[in-house]
């Protein structure tokens, strides 16, 4: 048995406040997650020998650190199934981009293998397996736009207006742990309520507390953010960083507006390449995306 072309969508953080730190070192956050249609794709081939392996290697990610394999082993241990799986992964979500690619991949593994193996776990049970894999993994199992608190595990569904996004990855990858361990990270933002968030235009609400640290440690991200903001200023849209970076994004009312902005940005970049100009930052990715109301696999979990 197989499951092919299974999506793992990226997310953006509409805001991100660091409100405290637990004695064990984990940071307490408030944030809002939204899925976008930039997706990794996974493939699953059932193995009768009980083995779990990957068909594609991730550069710089040894098997013991691969969240897809860790998720599969976690489900196998929790359910006692003797079935195994071979996992293939096509990466489109940038690594070290703040878009939750690894976390989304892990969640898709839990959801897909729960179906392929017939283990029948509920959403709540899968979310319990998801949290030890990473703070962002539970929201992808939760499957809806969410207001999140705690270390990311306290989730409340929110209904967001239809929006599109221009997503851009500067020429950098940012390790999350480095940002959260920085001594100058703000850790005392005031608590807000879900009502505060919903009462404000979503993109204008709050800030990303991680931005100042990332901009200090990675000046190429700061330069890219300033340049992108200047290009988009005539459109009246702001630029924000997602998660711990390095990806930046801007919100638009219509996908056509995001596509037009992408076309203009990439044209400027192509012109800069031809003239060997040093005045424009480099981007690894510039993509127009649609905001999703829910995870593509939300209905794969029966209860």
The dihedral built from the CA positions of residue 287, 31, 143 and 127, taken in this order, carries a sign that is positive
Question: Which position among 11, 40, 105, 209 bears the catalytic label?
Answer: 11
For residues 104 and 270, what is the distance between their CA atoms, to the nearest angstrom? 32
Dihedral of CA 105/107/110/111: which sign? negative
b/e burial code for range 217-234 (CB count within 10 A of at least 16 → b): bbeebbbbbebbeebbee
* Contact (CB, 8 A) for 246 and 213: no
11 is catalytic: yes
Catalytic site residue from 40, 66, 105, 136? 136
Cβ(137)–Cβ(131) under 8 Å? yes
* Sequence-separated (6 or more) residues with CB below 8 Å from residue 264: 231
149, 29 Cβ separation under 8 angstroms: yes
Of 211, 245, 248, 187, nearest in space to 30 by CA: 187
User: Would you give the distance in Å from CA 37 to the centre of its chain?
Assistant: 11
- Among positive and negative, which fits the CA dihedral 37, 197, 137, 216? positive
For 16, the 3-state DSSP assignment is strand
Closest Cα partner for 208 from 35, 36, 31, 25?
31
**What is the signed CA dihedral for 186, 201, 290, 238, rounded to 10 degrees?**
-60
Active site residue 57: no
- The token duo for 198 is 């919903």
E strand or H helix at 196: helix 194-198
CA gap 165, 242 in Å, rounded: 12
> Which positions are catalytic?
11, 136
């Amino acid at each position: 048995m197989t499951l092919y072309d299974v999506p793992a969508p990226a997310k953006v953080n509409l805001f991100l406040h660091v409100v405290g730190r637990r004695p064990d070192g984990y940071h307490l956050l408030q944030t809002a997650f939204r899925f976008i249609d930039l997706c990794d794709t996974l493939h699953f081939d059932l193995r009768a020998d009980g083995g779990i392996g990957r068909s594609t290697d991730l550069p710089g990610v040894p098997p013991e650190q691969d969240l897809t394999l860790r998720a599969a082993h976690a489900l196998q241990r929790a359910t006692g199934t003797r079935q195994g799986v071979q996992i293939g992964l096509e990466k489109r979500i940038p690594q070290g981009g703040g878009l939750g690619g690894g976390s989304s991949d892990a969640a898709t593994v839990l959801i897909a293998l729960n179906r392929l193996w017939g283990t029948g776990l509920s959403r709540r049970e899968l979310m319990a397996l998801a949290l030890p894999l990473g703070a962002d993994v539970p929201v992808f199992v939760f499957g809806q736009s969410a207001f999140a608190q705690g270390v990311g595990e306290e989730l409340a569904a929110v209904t967001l207006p239809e929006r599109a996004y221009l997503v851009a990855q500067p020429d950098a990858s940012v390790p999350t742990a480095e940002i959260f361990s920085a001594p100058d990270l703000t850790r005392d933002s005031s608590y807000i309520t879900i009502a505060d968030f919903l009462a404000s235009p979503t993109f204008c609400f709050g800030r990303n507390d991680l931005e100042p640290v990332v901009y200090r440690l990675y000046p190429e991200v700061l330069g890219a953010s300033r340049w992108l903001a200047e290009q988009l200023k005539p459109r009246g849209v702001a630029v924000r960083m997602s998660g711990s970076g390095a990806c930046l994004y801007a919100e638009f009312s219509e996908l056509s507006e995001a596509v037009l902005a992408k076309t203009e940005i990439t044209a400027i970049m192509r012109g800069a390449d031809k003239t060997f100009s040093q005045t424009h930052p480099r981007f690894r990715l510039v993509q127009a995306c649609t905001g999703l109301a829910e995870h593509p696999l939300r209905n794969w979990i029966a209860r």
